[in-house]
Amino acid sequence: MLSVNTNAAHYFVDRHMDEGRGDRLAYVEAETGRTLSYAQMAQGAGLNAGALAQAGIRPEERAAMLVLDQVEFPQIFWGALKAGVIPVPLNTLLATLVYDVILRDSRAAILFVSAPLWDVVAPAVAENPYLRHVVVLGDAPEGTTRYEDYLKGAEPRPTLPASADEVAFWLYSSGSTGQPKGVAHIHSALKATADTYGAQVLGIREDDTVLSAAKFFFAYGLGNEMTFPLSVGATSVLFTGRPTPQSMIETINAHAPTIFCGVPTLYAAMVAEMDANGAPSAPLRLCISAGEALPEDVGTRWESHTGVPILDGVGSTEMLHIFLSNAPDDVVYGTSGVAVPGYDLRLVDETGAEVADGEVGELLVNGASAASCYWNQRDKTRGTFEGVWTRTGDKYERRSDGRLIYCGRTDDMFKVSGIWLSPFEVEGALVSHPRVLEAAVVAHRDADDLEKPKAFIVLQSGAGDDALNDELKELVKEKIGKWKYPRWIEVVDELPKTATGKIQRFKLRAGA
Ligand code: 3SK
């Protein structure tokens, strides 16, 4: 009996050749104009699979990828899956010390690195006992191999069979408070996210073009510009540099994507840019947001500028993509929406009992895209993956209409006068002020050693003063409750964030 190969590379790459999509455009690089068709991607992946074998990299060994968003990324990634080698895309914004930890922890046997990122990883490579090959995309420093030379002489390889449950790739979670954790994902998880969020929320189609500000190395970006478009034969525009409001608007105008994927900080800055200089002229079909909750005001202003809603959603590296979201025909800003079809959600208290509507509980999720474990971290694995349920560490409240409201990370919540306070709610009120671009709220002890909210704010422009502080305190009192106003307000140039855009409140707490 003929059975379908459940290696994910078969579905996302090889299948398009059998179904006649070879000439379609899979990727275009916004800054350089370089392109990659579906046929070129399939050929490149086959060649990469052969090159790994030629270099002596065996199935289940790890291939670290410190690679920018460029057309080589999908070829290396899928080439590894075809060969049974585990690609480990790395956040391109980390420090040398963190690369050192990750390269040792993963025991990667080969590293692919984009030339502009070489200097930051080089000291970690020099000390590493496991790497047998270092392949550089671009000018190769001494002791490394140029990508083109590495591919020379390799014979293209077909896709090895892989079971649906077999580990396919890892992502390191950004570790906002601790050591990075290698999150191991199985082959079938990729298709599971495409079949659920990709098909049933985005409704992604072959004629879509996606632009994602989030890069490949982030689970959010991997879905946006790899799994979802490749599930239907659509096109992705790759933006290699740092996304700024201006560069994103220019790229939207130049490439006319139908789907734009951003994060709240970027949307807030783009809305400010549009207030000054107008909206992009190219028409979008849909916009999505994740990483942290989207402030209501940002969603409303974006939609009034562009005429297109932002679907705010929630995902995690552990669940691979979004499992809780607003839907295109059902957007309520200020809420995270409802469970994505295919996922079950529960809100529980400290004892594990389900909380009632209107009460705050930790969000647990059950779905086919859950990771199989954290590599070599048994306690953390057991603390997060509880049977079919994955703990998110996020606190939510369910409204009577079934929509969930974000209340903060489990460890960011605190009590004021005995009542739980959600930093996120106070932040939402603060950013509704036209002069406030971003806000973060943490607990700070007053003269009586009691915890009260303290706000750190980034202004759109200009400096803060007492009058503005008084205005903001009144605004919070009026909008969300008298006891919730920040007793202290500090203006800062920027907020500390993980590379994926989540505010690191623990850093503010430490210095608050
Ligand atoms: O942070 C999120 O909301 C997210 C969404 C999709 C995939 C991964 C993550 C962390």
Taking the C-alpha atoms of residue 41 and residue 105, their distance in angstroms, rounded to an integer, is 30
Name which residue sits closest to atom 9 of ligand 1, judged by CA: 316
Helices (H), 307-448: 378-384, 423-431
In angstroms, the Cα distances linking 373 to 185, 383, 389, 430 are 8, 11, 13, 38
Question: How many Å separate Cα 411 from the centre of its chain?
Answer: 21
Ligand 1 proximity of 137 Cβ (cutoff 6 Å)? no
Token pair belonging to 315 = 């995902």
Architecture in CATH for domain 414-511: 2-Layer Sandwich (3.30)
Taking the C-alpha atoms of residue 90 and residue 371, their distance in angstroms, rounded to an integer, is 17
Residue entry with tokens 């989540």: 502
Taking the C-alpha atoms of residue 256 and residue 484, their distance in angstroms, rounded to an integer, is 43
pLDDT value for 512 = 66
Ligand 1 proximity of 340 Cβ (cutoff 6 Å)? no
124 CA → ligand 1 middle, Å: 28
pLDDT value for 173 = 87
Q: For strand 451-459 and strand 488-491, is the pairing parallel, antiparallel, or unpaired?
A: parallel
Ligand 1 proximity of 290 Cβ (cutoff 6 Å)? yes
pLDDT value for 379 = 94
Taking the C-alpha atoms of residue 171 and residue 475, their distance in angstroms, rounded to an integer, is 41
Spans of all domains in the chain = 1-410, 414-511
3-state secondary structure of 303: helix
323 CA → ligand 1 middle, Å: 9
Q: What is the DSSP string of 5-48?
A: ---HHIIIIIHHHHTT-TTSEEEEETTT--EEEHHHHHHHHHHH
Pocket test of ligand 1: the residue of 369, 498, 500 to mutate, having most ligand atoms within 8 Å of its CB, is 500
Global confidence as pTM: 0.88
Ligand 1 proximity of 409 Cβ (cutoff 6 Å)? no
105 CA → ligand 1 middle, Å: 23
For the CA of 501, the closest atom of ligand 1 is 1
Ligand 1 proximity of 198 Cβ (cutoff 6 Å)? no
For the CA of 313, the closest atom of ligand 1 is 3
Q: Which residues of the chain carry a pLDDT beneath 70? A: 1-2, 174-178, 418, 499-500, 512
3-state secondary structure of 339: strand
ipTM over 0.85: yes
* Contact (CB, 8 A) for 487 and 476: no
Do 1-410 and 414-511 fold alike per CATH?
Answer: no
Token pair belonging to 128 = 């590493």
pLDDT tens track for 38-96: 999 999 999 999 999 999 999 999 999 999 999 999 999 999 999 999 999 999 988 89
In angstroms, the Cα distances linking 128 to 41, 57, 104, 123, 498 are 31, 17, 7, 9, 25
* Contact (CB, 8 A) for 139 and 115: yes
Ligand 1 proximity of 215 Cβ (cutoff 6 Å)? no
In angstroms, the Cα distances linking 177 to 174, 396, 398, 451, 482 are 9, 21, 27, 21, 31
Pocket test of ligand 1: the residue of 216, 227, 312, 322 to mutate, having most ligand atoms within 8 Å of its CB, is 322
| CATH of the structural domain 1-410, one choice from 3.40.50.12780, 3.30.450.20, 3.40.30.10, 3.10.28.10 | 3.40.50.12780
Question: How many Å separate Cα 398 from the centre of its chain?
Answer: 24
Measured over the CA atoms of residue 128, residue 130, residue 136 and residue 142, the dihedral's sign is: positive
Ligand 1 proximity of 503 Cβ (cutoff 6 Å)? no
Cα–Cα nearest to 298, from 437, 441, 394: 437
Instruction: For 161-211, give the secondary structure using H, E and C.
Output: CCCCCCEEEEEEECCCCCCCEEEEEEHHHHHHHHHHHHHHHHCCCCCCEEE
289 CA → ligand 1 middle, Å: 9
* Contact (CB, 8 A) for 325 and 201: yes
For the CA of 314, the closest atom of ligand 1 is 3
Ligand 1 proximity of 342 Cβ (cutoff 6 Å)? no
Beta bridge partners of 459: 436
Token pair belonging to 183 = 């999150």
pLDDT tens track for 449-474: 778 899 999 999 888 899 999 999 99
Ligand 1 proximity of 226 Cβ (cutoff 6 Å)? no
Check residue 501 and give left, alpha or beta (phi > 0: left; psi -120 to 50: alpha): left
For the CA of 218, the closest atom of ligand 1 is 8
pLDDT value for 176 = 46
Ligand 1 proximity of 219 Cβ (cutoff 6 Å)? yes
Q: For strand 235-238 and strand 389-398, is the pairing parallel, antiparallel, or unpaired?
A: unpaired
Ligand 1 proximity of 172 Cβ (cutoff 6 Å)? no
Pocket test of ligand 1: the residue of 201, 215, 218, 504 to mutate, having most ligand atoms within 8 Å of its CB, is 218
394 CA → ligand 1 middle, Å: 12
Taking the C-alpha atoms of residue 17 and residue 89, their distance in angstroms, rounded to an integer, is 26
Name which residue sits closest to atom 5 of ligand 1, judged by CA: 315
Name which residue sits closest to atom 1 of ligand 1, judged by CA: 291
Taking the C-alpha atoms of residue 443 and residue 449, their distance in angstroms, rounded to an integer, is 11
* Contact (CB, 8 A) for 455 and 445: no
